[in-house]
Amino acid sequence: MKVSIDAIDYYLPPKTEDGSILKEDNPDWCIEDIEKKTGIQVRHISAPDQTATDMAVLAAEKLFSTGVQRQEIDFLVLVTQSPDYALPSSACMLQDRLDLSKSCVAFDINLGCSGFVYGLFVGGSIIEAGLAQKGLVICSDTYAKYIGKSDRTCRPLFSDGASAVLLSSCIHNDLGPFEMGTDGSGFCDLIVPSSGARVSWAESKEGHLFMDGAKVFMFTMDMVPKCVTALLDKSGKTIGDIDMFFFHQASKFVIDNIIRQLELPKEKVYVNYQRVGNTVSASIPIALKDAVSEGRLKNGDQIMLIGFGVGYSWGASFVQWGVRP
């Protein structure tokens, strides 16, 4: 069996924050300089009582409303680093809330900005092994809940959102190959330190996201170009063979430097971070959906997806595009 992306949709919380709100909370910030560097004009913020699972339900229901049949779903992969609970798995609750079959396999993947590519890797492998016909890869995170109001490194970047993607078996070779990697020595550079079993309950405090921006940027500039080049070499393709590149929407500064280092034509690199922000694992599928809606991504296009970040973790894959709008 081969694998295709058959449908895609997403949900963004209606509440938004722009530079004026950041300025109200932090009068000493130069918002113009921050926005010039990040390129991000608007970020979406989940409601105080809204979880990643809540947003995942809304994204998936939009998918089902287009005609996708929930009784045909054989597996559910939820990519999140904002679980409702330490246990049970959020995917189990999501299976029930979506009224999927009890024979549906459901599990979480705890990955961030590389998570969608890993979700494709896992979900595609399940289908290609002949173990399933159709499955959902859902990405959902509420990073904004981990970020303090005066966190100048993280608050101007991260946005909450969820995406839902339907994978199906097909006769065409639409997905792959993949190029993946991990360097766990950098785990502490992007982390919520006061969380999990590493901190005793007696000493724990409300967890806040910490990011060493300089080290994360250096990792990105080192590994992402290598990953792209390795995938091109593995497949015998060149940059000229690729119709469009979809990088994790980290920020303008990051993507501009990747473009410069790889000498990519700017018109081949899709970006939507300006109006969406950095939605972590959901950023690539949201970009794919927007590119289809704008007519920029067409059936038959050869595209490359590249995720990278927390972990450190990275992954890239080719997709022969054929999803309906």
Angle, in degrees to the nearest 10, between helices 252-262 and 213-235: 40
Q: Report the distance separating Cα 62 and Cα 136, nearest Å.
A: 13
Q: Which H/E stretch holds residue 32?
A: helix 31-38
Set 44, 104, 227, 248: catalytic member: 248
The burial of 243, by beta-carbon neighbours within 10 Å (0-12 exposed, 13-18 middle, 19 or more buried), is given as middle
Q: Are 94 and 57 in contact (CB under 8 A)?
A: yes
Set 104, 227, 272, 278: catalytic member: 278
| Residue 248 appears among annotated catalytic residues | yes
Q: Which amino acid is at 258?
A: I
Dmax (CA) for the chain in angstroms is 58
Q: Which H/E stretch holds residue 23?
A: helix 19-25
* Cβ neighbours of 67 (radius 10 Å): 8
Task: Look up tokens 């969820």; give the residue.
Answer: 162
Distances in whole angstroms, Cα of residue 16 to Cα of each of 24, 36, 46, 81, 161: 14, 19, 9, 21, 11
Set 104, 113, 154, 227: catalytic member: 113
**Would you give the end-to-end CA distance of the chain in angstroms?**
24
Q: Which amino acid is at 159?
A: S
CA 106 to centroid of chain Cα atoms: 19
Active site residues: 113, 248, 278
